Amino acid sequence: MSAKLMQGNEAVAEGALAAGVRFFGGYPITPSTEIAEGMAKLLPKVGGTFIQMEDEIASMGVVLGASLAGKKVLTASSGPGISLKQELIGYAAAAEIPVVIVNVQRVGPSTGQPTAPSQGDVMQARWGTHGDHSIIALSPWSVRESFELTIKAINYAEKFRTPVILLMDEIVGHLRENVELPAENEIEIYPRRTPKKSRAEGYEPYTPDEDLVPNVANFGEGYHVHVTGLIHDETGFPSGSPKITAEFIKRMHEKISRAADEIIEVETDFMDDAEIAVVSFGGTARTAYEAVRNSRAKGLKVGFVRLVTIWPFADKIIAELAKKVKGLIVAELNYGQIVGEVQRAANGNCAVKLCAKYDMTIFEPEEIESAIDELISEVGGK
């Protein structure tokens, strides 16, 4: 494929199509709307379905229905729309329905600053819906990576039968870059899981496989599956048993935590001799990378750490880093969210300094460079 000028949001739509998404339900909201617009144009060309729903709750419902009927599905929103989706994100977690929700983050709370970038939904991505549940969230920093992580998100949703959040931000969503997308034969697709037994052989839709993920049959294939948001046993029917409830909640978490090493991706650079490092993600990582390179040019031993996977959090990787460096700077476009996770993982083994910004503008490299200078003077590196 030849290089093409493309926006992050457009790359999500292209990535979804390449991943096999054939159903999109959505509702217009800035700054995610171009994803819906892209899907409206692309899906009918490949026999897929696009529908604009009456609100974001319905957008979640319609994609979950389509997923149960066997389609790979996507929905996208921002800000208040993501808040509305939370109810059925929990349903998808409980009923184990593959779905990817793109959140192109804007400034909140409430209507906030609708057209301005933010990374204020990090904790919402983890805990937005009520109750204990696991989740996967990935955050791209470029247009090409928006394409790649959309595919990865769809694959994880299918493999682990879980909601996956593609945690974009307005910076990357509206960023235009000249990109060369991977060729079709370079793209790996995880197919829909299928039952390993027939009904006659005693098939139960929620019996976990070896990886703790159940092979729930698609609707319309003769399995007479029952799906509910109530806590259920392996048959899929509700259970009032404390034992079943505890096992269910535990399996929800463990199907993801067991695969954490596979899911967690962290990119690093300049780490060999780094005395401190800047931890960042998404659009902010672009500025952080520039700041690290500028600091290196000044002779400062600064490393670069980019969280590609936000949830599950990269506990082990951060814990190891904290033993190697004197301090970590966490640069994020919010009042301080992922910094708490970094502090927890660092566990006192190095200094952790927050470089937060929440004035609706993106970081300038100098702002992160100042934080680097300050931390170096505090921890005595050079």
Binding stretches for another protein (CB under 8 A): 23, 25, 41, 43-49, 51, 53-55, 57-71, 73, 87-88, 91, 219-230, 237-238
CB nearer to another protein: pick between 71 and 152: 71
Cα torsion angle, 246, 249, 253, 258, sign: positive
CB of 70 to another protein, least distance (A): 7
CB of 192 to another protein, least distance (A): 12
Other residues' Cβ atoms within 10 Å of the Cβ of residue 121: 25
Reduce the DSSP state of residue 231 to 3 states and report it.
Answer: coil
CB-based burial, 24-47: b 16+ in 10 Å, e otherwise:
bbbbebbbbbbbbbbbeebbeeee
379: exposed, middle or buried (Cβ count in 10 Å: 0-12, 13-18, 19+): middle
The nearer residue to another protein, 55 or 211, going by C-beta atoms, is 55
Question: Which residue, 80 or 365, is less far from another protein as judged by CB?
Answer: 80
Taking the least distance from each CB to another protein, the nearer of 54 and 210 is 54
CB of 10 to another protein, least distance (A): 17
Which CB atom, from 135 or from 305, has the smaller least distance to another protein? 135
Is the CB of 39 or the CB of 310 nearer to another protein?
A: 39
In the complex, the smallest distance separating the C-beta of residue 341 from another protein, rounded to whole angstroms, is 30
Q: How far apart are CA 194 and CA 331, in angstroms?
A: 42
Least gap, CB of 118 to another protein (angstroms): 28
Helix (H/G/I), strand (E/B), else coil: 302: strand
Environment class of 269 (CB within 10 Å of its CB; exposed 0-12, middle 13-18, buried 19+): middle
Separation between Cα atoms, residue 26 and residue 122, nearest integer Å? 21
**Shortest distance, CB of residue 193 to another protein, whole angstroms?**
16
Residue in this structure with the two tokens 């934080």, named with its chain if needed: 371
Q: How far is the CB of 238 from another protein (least distance, A)?
A: 8
Give the span between the Cα atoms of 120 and 128, in whole angstroms.
12
How many Å apart are CA 260 and CA 256, to the nearest integer?
6
Cβ distance to another protein smaller for residue 200 or 297: 200
